[in-house]
Chain A
Amino acid sequence: MIQLGTAPRTFAVSIEKIEGKSAAFEVTYTPVTSRANGLTPRGPRSSKRKGAFVATVHLDRAASCDWVRSPSEADRITLEPDAVRRSRVLADWFLCVEQLVAQVADWSGQDDWSTRIVDKPMFDIEIGQYRVPALLLQKLSVKLFFEPLRRVEPNVDGAFDLCLMPAYDDAARISGRPGQWHLEYEPPEGLGLVATASRTSLKLTAANLLRVLHAIFDHAG
């Protein structure tokens, strides 16, 4: 939500990465009405409603900003740097999620897990509403959902949960930052992982991920 000017105008903000372009984002500013339903647009697509201002931000072109539907000159002065800032924050996080999701899909595929990438809608006060990739995994009757949770936690750059479906039980968590991901897992008895406490924290490697997936599969299957 952003407020503008001396007579505050409030916008709900949603942002989408433009497919096929690595550094282009579409930022939509939807004026919020006094009606309750105007305060919570449900997703980036639904917020492309009448009266919305839409900017395309190209981070690879000196952060230029093109307006599909432009606000007044006065509003543009405030909204353009805002759109660029939001796009930069999302660009870093999106890349982080995209790479980790691809890595988990690649490694789990080595142990016959079939995978499918799905969109996960998210909200972040610094970005607005947006979508990032998440991953569905399945091996025989065991289904897992690997999803980004949040962009920043104290002392970490991101956190992802691996949940057992359909009950949505927590199975493991990956947290940290690119190149320094850690996998936390509370093993059922007899797993054989070296645990210093009841909850095991492992460096995220293909071998460790597959061991954890194997344990989850045995436990759930």
Chain B
Amino acid sequence: MRGSRPGGETFWWMRRIKDAEREHRSVQISLDRLIHAARTDSQVIAGEVEFLDLLVARDALEGTYIVRLFSEFETALREYLRFRGLRLPASTEALINKVRDLKNIGSRIAAAAHTVREYRNALVHHRLTTVAPLTVITVRSTLCRYLSWLQHEW
């Protein structure tokens, strides 16, 4: 039985992930332009925010959105297991593996999802020196590919 949302539940979650990626792009461009403007005219941000804070925000932006994209993905997997009436695993690693096993998702696709999970963990726990960086585009692509395996059922 398919979900009740237009186009199916899976597609709804894939669109949420894509929308977050688009939002990131818009915010990134806006922030870059504000930084550029503030370099030549500090009055642009006078009294509103410190220039240094803008740089910090820009450096953190991609990671912030990756955490958000992964959060959408994780929620989608939990919703899927609820839809199936199955118990939710305690860890995200087990969650990805459980859905992988249920849907026979290819090992390369599941491994890529784990790479994103590990990167998300590194972002959240400030262990960025231990993992290779990922971009929002790569993360969106990886997570949508994984979710697409649920599309025929959910």
Contacts and interface: CB of A to CB of B under 8 A. Distances in A.
B7 A119 contact: yes
Interface stretch (B43-51, B91-99, B116-124, B137-145): B137-145
Interface in A38-54: 42-43, 45
Contacts, number: 41
A53 B147 CA distance: 37
Chain B: interface size category: 20 to 34
A166 B144 contact: yes
Interface string A76-103: 0000000000000000000000000000
A166 B6 contact: no
B6 A165 contact: no
Contacts of A42: 5
Interface string B57-90: 0000000000000000000000000000000000
Interface in B125-148: 140-142, 144-145, 147-148
A169 to B, nearest CB: 6
A120 B148 contact: no
Nearest to B140: A168
Given A149-B22, A163-B18, A169 B141 contact: yes
B100 to A, nearest CB: 16
B23 to A, nearest CB: 11
A36 interface: no
Contacts of B151: 166
Contacts of A151: none
A168 B5 contact: no
Contacts of A165: 144, 148
Given A43-B5, A118-B6, A119-B7, A168 B141 contact: yes
A157 to B, nearest CB: 18
Contacts of A118: 6-7, 11
A5 to B, nearest CB: 33
B17 interface: yes
23 contacts: A42-B5, A43-B6, A45-B4, A118-B7, A118-B11, A120-B7, A120-B15, A121-B5, A121-B12, A134-B7, A147-B15, A149-B22, A163-B18, A165-B148, A166-B14, A166-B145, A166-B147, A167-B140, A167-B142, A168-B18, A168-B21, A168-B140, A168-B144
Interface of B: 4-7, 11-12, 14-15, 17-18, 21-22, 140-142, 144-145, 147-148, 151
Interface of A: 42-43, 45, 118-121, 131, 134, 147, 149, 163, 165-169
